[in-house]
Structure 1
Amino acid sequence: MPSRIPPSTGVGFKHTHLDDILADTDPVGFLEVHAENYMGDGGFPHRALERVRQDYPVSLHGVCMSIGGPEPLSTDHLARFKALVERYEPGLISEHLAWSTHDDVFMNDLLPLPYTDETLAHVCEHVDRMQSFIGRQMLLENPSTYVVFDNSTMSETDFIREIARRTGCGLLLDVNNVFVSATNHGYSPLTYLMDFPLELVGEIHLAGHAVQEDDEGETLLIDSHDAPVADPVWDLFEIVVKQTGPIPTLVEWDSDLPDWPVLKSEATAAERILERVASTFMMGKRHAAAV
């Protein structure tokens, strides 16, 4: 049976932290792993994941399925992903609204796509294909973006909402991605969240970002996952969970890894917000974030 992910805070599982995780007497709520790191059959990565899976529920997060790409999904990649689902029985399964492949070329970046009827049709086809192949619902994550397409005919929130309506997928709301994209493109993150279908969110991601400048000297945020969660992202997170109630929340930190106490402190900060919200949240239909 799939593990149940509690409405609490988890962290991305890194082998560097294995001993600390096993020794922690106040464990986090769950661990999340990137599927592509475990697509070999054995070795230390699997031994480590098998060990923590004895004590923790696991969320499986894909980064290379290329849901937004123009070509059909790779049957080999789907088969490897399904094998992980069957082996570790994750409580949640997610992928990105992005593309990362073209013909036989695989790129390391999660690239944006235009929000058009044509793109919508093939994204829905890919989501349907993935869910049918693995026999589970997936959560689709909103992207962080650095460019927009002139030929887009709908907003990102409308595009995401329609994917969920057509396919029955759930949503993964990355709050840092919202803040990064809003800053880069000059719109309000709260306006975005007010139009986001929060009632479909099954998991939240939090992460740090890097602050740079573009060629015109304007601020450019990069979704780098190499720093603590920024204060504005914490504020947006609290606004969201006041509307949704506590739901599984992941702190991502994928490069320049800190020592375990630093990462754990980020998870603890998120957990305190969830606990504070839980004490006042009134059960009922989720609704859009209010300013």
Structure 2
Amino acid sequence: MTVPDARVRAPAGIGIGLRHAHYADFLHTVPPVDWVEVHSENYFADGGYDLHVLRTVRRDLPVSLHGVGLGLGSMTPLDRAHLGKLRRLIDRIEPAVVSEHLCWGATSAGHLNELLPMPLTDAALEHLQVRVDEVQTFLGRPVLLENVSTYVRFVDDQYQETAFLAELARRTGCGVLLDVNNLYVNQANHDEDAVVAMNRLPPDVVGEIHLAGHCVTDVAVIDDHGSRVAPAVWALYEHALRRFGEVPTLIEWDTNMPPLDVLLDEVQSARDLQAQTRPRDTNAQHRGGSK
């Protein structure tokens, strides 16, 4: 079992996802962001342009590796080839943090290429405990696990998702990547209270926060990462800052990619909200005295 370390954190400040549409921007200058996050699997090759760009960016900015293909909750054996490629990328890039999703995505028939929701049961918790321990031991480091957006819940669930994550973190020493937009999506789709969900997580277990846009349809709210962060999600982020402190935060945008300036504007909004929620230094006020 990995020694518990609930304070595994992404680099301080506000980051954005490094996506192909903005490679040229990053190669020509260092944008005013504190760090970048990439999908690990896009950089598993031994060479190529993507890895060249990542290595170049890494000279100036910290990197967070965010996996989308491991499917930790699947019942199939852990993909050792996948883990080997991830470990090799970690050795090459020396990321500040490595994260995965609380999901499954494979059967004996093959990989489904989806972040499918876990049944939140004792049996699933025990299954994931073994798998997370195995991954962390193989990688030689704790990982962060992200709550996912879902469009179904299981009638046999015994936990709320964040309570499930909190218990998994307690057992394995992993941390939590809190996706605030996913909490909002699940609140809208399942009539769940996102604030109550956040309050189930111990303050020191959250090592990174994701913010993203979503799409509202007649059927459901879809987590599509294709627009600006919605006002309701900013409001939840404010609660997250008050509960967890200035946790490193990522602006996540994957579809309908805008110019980089739009993402930088979202970065500034996150910085402004952090400043607004920062506790006032009452000692400094007392030192200044009255005039």
The normalised TM-score by structure 2 is 0.90
Greater relative CO (CA pairs within 8 A, separation 6+): 2
Equivalent residue letter for 1:58: V
Hey, what does 1:102 align to over in structure 2?
Answer: 107
Asked whether the equivalents of residues 147 and 178 of structure 2 are also in contact (C-alpha less than 8 Å), the reply is yes
Query: Deviation of residue 21 (structure 1)?
Result: 2.8
1:5-34 Cα offsets, whole Å, 9 max, x none, are 432100000122123234456520000000
Q: 1:67 aligns with which of 57, 65, 72?
A: 72
1:190-216 Cα offsets, whole Å, 9 max, x none, are 1212222332000000000111122xx
Equivalent residue letter for 1:248: P
Query: Deviation of residue 108 (structure 1)?
Result: 2.2
Hey, what does 1:136 align to over in structure 2?
Answer: 141
SS at 1:68 equivalent: coil
Query: Deviation of residue 281 (structure 1)?
Result: 7.9
Asked whether the equivalents of residues 25 and 31 of structure 2 are also in contact (C-alpha less than 8 Å), the reply is no
CA distance in 2, matches of 1:46, 1:154: 40
Asked whether the equivalents of residues 21 and 27 of structure 1 are also in contact (C-alpha less than 8 Å), the reply is no
Equivalent residue letter for 2:250: L
Equivalent residue letter for 2:267: A
Asked whether the equivalents of residues 61 and 95 of structure 1 are also in contact (C-alpha less than 8 Å), the reply is yes
Q: 1:78 aligns with which of 83, 90, 94?
A: 83
Equivalent residue letter for 1:276: Q
SS at 1:11 equivalent: strand
**Percent of paired sites with the same residue:** 44
Query: Deviation of residue 245 (structure 1)?
Result: 1.6
Hey, what does 1:268 align to over in structure 2?
Answer: 268
| Cα pair distance change 1:5/1:151, threshold 3 Å | closer
Query: Deviation of residue 268 (structure 1)?
Result: 1.4
Asked whether the equivalents of residues 139 and 169 of structure 1 are also in contact (C-alpha less than 8 Å), the reply is yes
Hey, what does 1:122 align to over in structure 2?
Answer: 127
Equivalent residue letter for 1:150: V
Hey, what does 1:152 align to over in structure 2?
Answer: 157
Equivalent residue letter for 2:246: P
Where do residues 131-280 of structure 1 align in structure 2 (5 Å cutoff)? Answer: 131-214=136-219, 220-278=220-278, 280=280
Unaligned runs of 5+ in 2: 1-8, 283-291
Hey, what does 2:95 align to over in structure 1?
Answer: 90
Query: Deviation of residue 85 (structure 1)?
Result: 0.7
CA distance in 1, matches of 2:203, 2:103: 20
**1:43 matched to 2:58:** no
Deviates more, 1:146-155 or 1:58-67: 146-155
1:208-241 Cα offsets, whole Å, 9 max, x none, are 0111122xxxxx1111011111100001001111
- Name the larger-Rg structure: 2
Asked whether the equivalents of residues 6 and 247 of structure 1 are also in contact (C-alpha less than 8 Å), the reply is no
CA distance in 2, matches of 1:127, 1:106: 19
Equivalent residue letter for 2:223: D
The normalised TM-score by structure 1 is 0.90
Deviates more, 1:109-118 or 1:23-32: 23-32
CA distance in 1, matches of 2:214, 2:107: 27
